[in-house]
Amino acid sequence: MSTPSPHGRSRIAALAVALAAVSTLALAACGDDSGDSSSSSATPTAPDTASFSGNAASALASVEASVRAKASERAASASAAASSFEASVSAETERANEAARTELAKVDGQGNAMSEVTMTGKPRSTTGGLLAVVVTITNKTDRTASYAVQVDFLDSSGKTVETRYVGAEDLKPGEKAQPLAVSRKPAEPVLTPKLAKAQRY
């Protein structure tokens, strides 16, 4: 084996120094700021789940149950309020209709407000199969007025088989009301609604 030249020996010495420097840096990187390299090699461990009491989950379940209970109470309250309102509206409608019946008992002929009343049929699909008409009452005068309307339901021969009364009270000038006149007769035979009387009072 030949002996390296002086120039070759210098290159080998330089490589050795470089390798030593790299090794030193690598060792320094393994340590932390405190100089204790043992902490950097520690492996993280999973938390000890046996030490959990489960109280947090129970508390969340309790809160959720409480929220659901309150929501249920609010829904029931809203439903009861809606039912109460519907009942009050129905009672008010029946009262107005009874007032209309009483007023029309005094009227001879068709009354003084036939030109202020029109009728429009409602589809049976929206009334549960019942025959119903929307009675549109418009106060065409310049003062507040109440109205009484009589709707007759006629059979195919033109005979009146049922009469319904609807009313509107204290309509201001230009104001409209749209009560429903609903027949309580069976769907067959088919009846035809007719505006029989309309009185403004």
CATH architecture of 80-200: Sandwich (2.60)
Q: Residue 48 has what pLDDT?
A: 54
C-beta of residue 169 within 8 angstroms of C-beta of residue 99: yes
Query: Residue ranges per domain, the chain?
Result: 80-200
Counting every residue, how long is the chain?
201
78 three-state secondary structure: helix
- The model's pLDDT over 8-36, given as tens digits with 9 standing for 90+, comes to 555 555 544 444 554 544 444 445 444 44
C-beta of residue 155 within 8 angstroms of C-beta of residue 189: yes
Q: Residue 72 has what pLDDT?
A: 72
Query: What is d(CA 75, CA 82) in angstroms, rounded to the nearest whole number?
Result: 11
Global pTM exceeds 0.75: no
Query: What is d(CA 99, CA 18) in angstroms, rounded to the nearest whole number?
Result: 113
58 three-state secondary structure: helix
